[in-house]
Structure 1
Amino acid sequence: MIFPRILLIAVSLLCVGLSEEPESPQSHSSVNTTKHLSYGDEILFSSKILSREIPINIYLPQTFHQASEQHRYPVIFINGSHGKEFFHALTGIVKHLSGVERMPESIVISLNDGGDEPETYLHGMWKHTTEEKFSAQGNPETYSEFLTEELFPYLKENYRALDNRMIIGISTSSTFPLYTLTNKPGLFQSYFFLSAADIFGMGPTSESTFIDEIAKSMQTSPNKISAFYFAMADSDMRKDKRYKKILSQINTKLSPYAKENFRLKIEILNNENHYGAFIKAALSAIELNYPHEEWSANYRELISQPGDALQNIDHFYQSHSQKYGFPILPRATRWRNVNQLSYISNLLLKDGRIQEAISIARRWVEYQPNSIDAHLSLAQALQQNNEILEASDALKKALEISHSQDKSKTAAINRQLAELKLN
């Protein structure tokens, strides 16, 4: 991992949410070893703009370290203390759905300090306090500058992050996302709010609510946002009759902008409570951004169509990329699924479509240059096409990688090389 010269980054390879290593259960005779699992990193980002360290959790796609530089990723931000609390749940959802290609592989970031918050007028939304407003916490304008000038470039340089970003605001952690939506709508392209009807009824001035400000933002920048999702648990809706009116106002203000390039969904989640609704809401928000029917590529169907197999697959993903505005690549490998280049290469080889199998295997190597299996697959296809020298080179590359990555495969690759030379 490369770190920017101008930034001081302290990286702690810790399982997020666990401050201490659990003790190994050595008392049971069946347990010989205990291995600590890590699902994310926590970094302290030293910001010159803010003159302080910003704690951030980061999750990377499972294939990140094996994938080539061509692979770039959308980023999902989840905000504040709520973000830190739900980080593990969110990364689990993203890992699973991207693994079955229901959404693109994505980076997940928790902004643990929640961003600086603007002065906010309560408009009587909180019955348990007589306060008229909350004072500003820091400077949201400066915090936005930190994101655009420091954090986003850092993620792009070090983690191949795309300029395609979603932000999630839950309950009171919605204030900073609302600030960006109403003042800097292009900062994030997709917004996801949960359990925040009371916050939406508040506002930046004594005369206007956040709903009013969102409407103004949509009027002046109608094409800056690609998706807006808002959900409330049914148990919350029963607590305050005003929430129904707030949801209606949000729908009335935003519905005129709902079209192909702006997806909108406002819903009440039944049989749920304030925080328990998170998983249902996350699944629904992801479906809004990445509809199932658009993310169900059937590779076997694509290669059965007239024309070259790889060209057919590329055409599908090029159309996909154009629609979503960022590069989307075919999956080289996936867990227990035929919709991957590794499976298709072997299938084409069995069907006697050797040249097409070679093309697919070469693309697999291009996408995962440090994959032993990719080079072995290419060697097999080349050998069947009687390209012995090229097959030998592919095996030698697999052998080279095996020394540092998986020595258990070294002997088998050496045997393959010897048999190739004998033949």
Structure 2
Amino acid sequence: MSSLIQKAVLCLAILFSIISETNAQFLSQIGLKDSVYSEVLNESRQFFVQFPEKFDPQSDKKYPVAFILDGEILFPALTVTQKFYMGGFLPDMILIGVSNQENRTRDLTPSVVEPSYGPNGGAAQFLRFLGEELIPYVEENYPASDYRTLIGHSYGGLFSIYTLIHQPELFENYLAIDPSLDWDDQLMLKQAKEAFTKEGLNGKSLYISLSGQLHMQKPEITIDNVMDDDSEFTMFARSNIAFAELCRVYSDQGLAFDWEIFPKDLHGTVPLPSLRNGMISLFDWFQMEKTELFNIPETPTSELLDILNYRAEKLRSHFGFEVPPFPEDLITISGYMNMDMGQMEKAKMFFDQGLKYFPKSANMYDSMADYFEANNDIVSALEFVKKAYEISGSDYHRDRMGELTLKIK
């Protein structure tokens, strides 16, 4: 490693340390702080946990999990991304921010490079910690499924790709933000050429981003001519681009791959747009389809039911467990919208599906009661309100039972 790159690495490490100390005091406002003692690393490791907005600790529901490295810095950005794009673009997830405030270079780099400004080359041990200790701890203590996403920036991005190469089964999705693929004379590029010829990448997804900081001294160096520059100033960008080209070659073997450059962003600012675009890219298959048919009165009930069933099966095949095809609110609204249009068959279908996928929801039983009351079936309406009351115990449902009972008399 050249002295120039060493200095850049040192500056970045100092910057991470300063930002970490500044942000750490606020993380309690965003996520639950937890820690696990690592026998592998012989030290305690801190991490942060954020639950979905409507998380119910009494529920037995399991969630996909996204692990983000450098959690003390990047965790807030991930939580904001999740908050704005959940539902239509991203599934409800448990977010885990892994702290790399200490021993960052040691843990996230895949080989020993000399001379250096500190310990490095400990990625294999850190990967053991994730796979043998942190992930089992998370799954034992939180409602986490085994559908996982790994996110990293800079050295964290390098580590994400290292994990994809050496233990791809550990995560389904990999997001590498401006990864330091120049490390050790493009070691990951060399290892990937061998690893990508083997099986094991089928069903895996990788998103890589590159900042517009292609040359620190020459702004005339752009994405169009950077590969023609053989100086150490462009080694970082050229390594990223070369790795992307390799991934495109092997994408036919099952690796879903996406790559993007953010020309107006620097290495330190590129995580924010990369998290947004990267998570949407990795979960492209999750995004809702044909929802416009819900708003067209002429759409047959059978076609709407087919849309719900298709999506439910698609989510089950990806996650490995049953997932409601649409959020409860959307199913409920669709039912009421069809009631307003006088399309009672469609309304009942949506409420039936709501009860199928949300059997513990008092709101869904109450909505079905509205359907029956609108159709002058007061006896059935009362039965569904009783079920809603059994779940909620609310004064509203108790009073409604009384009102419906009077109508029957």
- What TM-score, normalized by structure 2, do the two folds share? 0.75
Q: Paired residue for 2:310, among 306, 316, 334?
A: 316
Q: Paired residue for 1:169, among 152, 171, 194?
A: 152
**How big is the alpha-carbon RMSD for the aligned residues of Structure 1 and Structure 2?**
3.6
Corresponding residue for 1:84?
72
Q: Paired residue for 1:227, among 190, 205, 209?
A: 205
Residue 258 (structure 1) shift: 1.9
The 3 A distance-change label for structure 1 pair 243 and 118 is closer
- Mapping of 1:143-162 within 5 angstroms? 143-156=126-139, 158-162=141-145
- Mapping of 1:119-268 within 5 angstroms? 120-122=111-113, 130-131=115-116, 134-137=119-122, 140-141=124-125, 143-156=126-139, 158-196=141-179, 199-203=180-184, 209-224=187-202, 226-238=204-216, 240-259=233-252, 261-268=254-261
Residue 161 (structure 1) shift: 2.8
Contact map agreement 1:309 1:356 (CA 8 A) in 2: no
Instruction: Give the counterpart letter for 1:330 in structure 2.
Output: P
1:7-54 Cα deviation digits (max 9, x unpaired) = xxxxxxxxx956379xxxxxxxxxxxxxxx943211123456655433
Mean Cα deviation higher: 41-50 or 241-250: 41-50
Corresponding residue for 1:357?
347
Corresponding residue for 2:325?
330
Q: Whole-Å Cα distance in 2 between the matches of residues 342 and 18 of structure 1? A: 40
Q: Paired residue for 2:401, among 405, 408, 417?
A: 417
The 3 A distance-change label for structure 1 pair 352 and 236 is same
Contact map agreement 1:121 1:132 (CA 8 A) in 2: no
Q: Whole-Å Cα distance in 2 between the matches of residues 47 and 392 of structure 1? A: 56
Q: Paired residue for 1:269, among 262, 274, 289?
A: 262
Q: What are the ranges of 5 or more consecutive residues in structure 1 without an aligned counterpart? A: 1-15, 22-36, 124-129, 335-339
The 3 A distance-change label for structure 1 pair 362 and 158 is farther
Q: Whole-Å Cα distance in 2 between the matches of residues 346 and 67 of structure 1? A: 28
Q: Whole-Å Cα distance in 2 between the matches of residues 67 and 358 of structure 1? A: 28
Contact map agreement 1:122 1:132 (CA 8 A) in 2: no
Q: Whole-Å Cα distance in 1 between the matches of residues 208 and 279 of structure 2? A: 12
Mean Cα deviation higher: 157-166 or 101-110: 157-166
Contact map agreement 1:189 1:224 (CA 8 A) in 2: no
Q: Whole-Å Cα distance in 2 between the matches of residues 312 and 225 of structure 1? A: 25
- Mapping of 1:388-407 within 5 angstroms? 388-403=378-393
Residue 180 (structure 1) shift: 1.6
Contact map agreement 2:36 2:137 (CA 8 A) in 1: no
Q: Whole-Å Cα distance in 2 between the matches of residues 146 and 172 of structure 1? A: 17
- Mapping of 1:50-89 within 5 angstroms? 52-65=43-56, 69=60, 71-79=61-69, 82-89=70-77
The 3 A distance-change label for structure 1 pair 354 and 202 is same
Residue 194 (structure 1) shift: 1.8
The 3 A distance-change label for structure 1 pair 304 and 161 is farther
Corresponding residue for 1:280?
273
1:257-315 Cα deviation digits (max 9, x unpaired) = 12494222233211111121112111221232233895344161588533436632323
Residue 317 (structure 1) shift: 0.6
Corresponding residue for 1:27?
none
Q: Whole-Å Cα distance in 1 between the matches of residues 273 and 163 of structure 2? A: 25
The 3 A distance-change label for structure 1 pair 417 and 331 is same
The 3 A distance-change label for structure 1 pair 321 and 144 is same
Larger relative helix fraction: 2
The answer to whether the aligner puts 1:112 opposite 2:99 as a matched pair is yes
Q: Whole-Å Cα distance in 2 between the matches of residues 237 and 17 of structure 1? A: 29
Instruction: Give the counterpart letter for 1:333 in structure 2.
Output: E
Instruction: Give the counterpart letter for 1:266 in structure 2.
Output: W
Instruction: Give the counterpart letter for 1:300 in structure 2.
Output: F
Mean Cα deviation higher: 178-187 or 316-325: 316-325
1:217-253 Cα deviation digits (max 9, x unpaired) = 2112352562222222212544522234213321332
Instruction: Give the counterpart letter for 2:308 in structure 1.
Output: D
Q: Whole-Å Cα distance in 1 between the matches of residues 117 and 286 of structure 2? A: 47
Instruction: Give the counterpart letter for 2:199 in structure 1.
Output: S
Q: What are the ranges of 5 or more consecutive residues in structure 2 without an aligned counterpart? A: 1-21, 218-232
Contact map agreement 1:61 1:106 (CA 8 A) in 2: yes
Instruction: Give the counterpart letter for 1:167 in structure 2.
Output: L
Corresponding residue for 1:25?
none
Instruction: Give the counterpart letter for 1:105 in structure 2.
Output: D
Instruction: Give the counterpart letter for 2:327 in structure 1.
Output: A
Q: Whole-Å Cα distance in 2 between the matches of residues 66 and 310 of structure 1? A: 32
Q: Whole-Å Cα distance in 2 between the matches of residues 105 and 78 of structure 1? A: 16
Give the length in aligned residue pairs.
Answer: 365
1:156-176 Cα deviation digits (max 9, x unpaired) = 455443332221111133353
Q: Secondary structure at the match of 2:354?
A: helix
Q: Whole-Å Cα distance in 1 between the matches of residues 26 and 274 of structure 2? A: 31
Q: Whole-Å Cα distance in 2 between the matches of residues 295 and 422 of structure 1? A: 43
Contact map agreement 2:262 2:270 (CA 8 A) in 1: yes
Residue 116 (structure 1) shift: 3.8
Instruction: Give the counterpart letter for 2:372 in structure 1.
Output: L
Corresponding residue for 1:347?
337
Q: Secondary structure at the match of 1:19?
A: helix
